[in-house]
Amino acid sequence: MAEITWTLPMRSMDVAALRTAAADVCQRYVGVTVEVELEEADCATAFFSIPKDDEGPAALLEVSIYDLGRDGRILSVEEESSDNAVRWNDAGQLGEDLADILGGEPLD
């Protein structure tokens, strides 16, 4: 399965900053909404709802942020999460947009 990952300069899991950044991403796209949940102390997830359009069906796309402790924070888009496989290009774009706002750098 595919995965796209970015490192983030956050010093800790900052859910408020994540919520603000995810809302900013939604402003770029018509009909896209987001809910951000702190699933564990070391994992937050942005669930983006995207409407049906010419590119495909309505979908729930998942972008996760993991706190790896001393190894930092990463943002990850995983193909097997939610409907990411169905709208993979959109999931990757939302992840990239979120990473950009948060100052992320792609991991090779």
Determine the Cα angle at 98 with ends 87 and 92, to 5°: 25
Q: Which CATH topology does 3-106 take?
A: TATA-Binding Protein (3.30.310)
**pLDDT tens across the length of the chain (108 residues):** 699 999 999 888 999 999 999 999 999 999 999 999 999 999 999 999 999 998 899 999 999 999 999 999 999 999 999 999 999 999 999 999 999 999 999 996
Domain boundaries along the sequence of the chain: 3-106
Global pTM? 0.94
| SS3 sequence of the chain | CCEEEEEECCCCCCHHHHHHHHHHHHCCCCCCEEEEEEEECCEEEEEEEECCECCECCEEEEEEEEECHHHCEEEEEECCCCCCCCCHHHHHHHHHHHHHHCCCEECC
